[in-house]
Amino acid sequence: MSLLSERLGWIVFEAETKRLHELVKAVLPELDGIVGWEQGFDALHATPVFVNREEDVHRLMWSPLCVHNLSGYLVKTPPFLPRDEGRKVGICVKGCDSRSLVALEQEKFLGRDRLHIFGIPCEGTVDWRRVMKKIPLRGVSSVRREGPELKVEDSRGVHSLPWEESLARRCLRCAHPNPLVHDVLVRDPVEPRIKKDEAYGLVEEMDQKSLEERLAFWSAELDRCIRCYACRNACPLCVCQDRCIVETRDPKWLTQKMGISEKFMFHMIHSLHLAGRCTECGECERVCPMEIPVTLMKEKLNQITREILGYEAGIDSQLVPPLLTFNPGEHEL
């Protein structure tokens, strides 16, 4: 097994990866396939992988570089979920990813009985862009966590960075590190980093600013938007895909016109479509090539949803999201 750690460049998460292989091997014959992560083009990058043969199981891995929320693959075209309703698939999820599964189940896009969920309690994922900004790296050969430090080895030697400074913003405000739904857990549950009500610190900071300051902030941020729609494509709950109203021209909500008004409009629509649905997995922000903090808008709407409706998305599969129901008894709205 020393080979494995050498190849992955990891020493700390070898046990979890090994355990994942065992668990996958045990159920693979009953499944149509499994979606998980494998080593990417260098040690700093993982990439999603679909496995349906036993000889490929060794490709699966777990490490804090397994940043992707894989749940979108189950519902987006072509869906990884087979049409045959008797068949199941396996999926690897972190705490945040599991909430997407719950939300998709709440909205009846998924049946829990179609899934075999490998839950992975997570202590945070590494934001490689943050790392690169601190240490410009070239030809990364290994990445590992040693206690409070992230150690990265590239062509110029070994660099170290405080662990906390390498984490993604979404992970620093994570209250649900342990998968809420799972069939098996790959490792023991971990302590949440913060409590639920502390998760909206950045939103509260924004609220302190004047309207003009906020407009100036968002104008500057959104001005960079290139309307590549990566945020939308990465969002597991953005299920309209080709029918998304930012691309269809009837009804004509958006045009090809250049300028910030169309960019604003797109992000407002995206955020409002996720109001009371977004599980704050942070994928939209992670994939944004222009590094716009787009999850922040959804965080604000979620904070409002919590305050007014006492509701949090992706927690209880039996609940109906409040904006997806009609209740004439709701007076406070």
**Cβ neighbours for 305, distance < 8 A, ≥ 6 positions apart:** 275, 276, 311, 312, 313, 322
Residue 47 sits in the site that holds another protein (CB under 8 A):
no
Q: Which of residues 224-253 bind another protein (CB under 8 A)?
A: 239-241, 243-245, 248, 250-253
Least distance in angstroms from the C-beta of 249 to another protein: 10
Q: Among 152-160, 199-207, 209-217, 321-329, which window interacts with another protein (CB under 8 A)?
A: 321-329
Least distance in angstroms from the C-beta of 310 to another protein: 19
Least distance in angstroms from the C-beta of 143 to another protein: 38
Residue 48's nearest CA partner among 26, 27, 74 is 74
Least distance in angstroms from the C-beta of 245 to another protein: 5
Nearest residue (CB) to another protein, 158 versus 268: 268
What is the distance between the alpha carbons of residues 246 and 229, in angstroms, rounded to a whole number? Answer: 9
Which value, to the nearest 10 degrees, does the dihedral of the CA atoms of residues 244, 249, 252, 256 take?
100
Contact track, another protein, 248-267, x by CB under 8 A: x-xxxx--------------
Q: What are phi and psi of 97, to 5 degrees?
A: -60, -35
Least distance in angstroms from the C-beta of 150 to another protein: 39
Nearest residue (CB) to another protein, 45 versus 87: 87
Residue 161 sits in the site that holds another protein (CB under 8 A):
no
Residue 107 sits in the site that holds another protein (CB under 8 A):
yes
Nearest residue (CB) to another protein, 195 versus 252: 252
Q: Which of 10, 13, 62, 109 binds another protein (CB under 8 A)?
A: 109
What is the distance between the alpha carbons of residues 125 and 258, in angstroms, rounded to a whole number? Answer: 35
User: Each residue of 147-156: b (16+ CB within 10 Å) or e?
Assistant: eebbbbbbee
Nearest residue (CB) to another protein, 157 versus 329: 329
* 193: three-class secondary structure by DSSP: coil
Exposed, middle or buried by CB within 10 Å (0-12, 13-18, 19+), for 183?
Answer: middle
What is the distance between the alpha carbons of residues 132 and 147, in angstroms, rounded to a whole number? Answer: 20
Q: Which of residues 204-223 bind another protein (CB under 8 A)?
A: none
Residue 108 sits in the site that holds another protein (CB under 8 A):
yes
Q: Which of residues 284-303 bind another protein (CB under 8 A)?
A: none
Nearest residue (CB) to another protein, 11 versus 245: 245
Residue 323 sits in the site that holds another protein (CB under 8 A):
yes
Nearest residue (CB) to another protein, 220 versus 320: 320
Q: Among 102-110, 139-147, 167-175, 211-219, which window interacts with another protein (CB under 8 A)?
A: 102-110
**Cβ neighbours for 88, distance < 8 A, ≥ 6 positions apart:** 30, 31, 32, 113, 114, 115, 116
Q: What are phi and psi of 38, to 5 degrees?
A: -135, 175
Nearest residue (CB) to another protein, 143 versus 275: 275
Residue 229's nearest CA partner among 177, 313, 289, 182 is 289
Nearest residue (CB) to another protein, 41 versus 326: 326
* 142: three-class secondary structure by DSSP: strand
Cβ contact 100:115 at 8 Å: no
What is the distance between the alpha carbons of residues 328 and 332, in angstroms, rounded to a whole number? Answer: 11
Residue 280's nearest CA partner among 119, 170, 204 is 170
Nearest residue (CB) to another protein, 230 versus 245: 245
Chain positions contacting another protein, by CB under 8 A: 107-109, 239-241, 243-245, 248, 250-253, 273, 320, 323-326, 328-329, 331
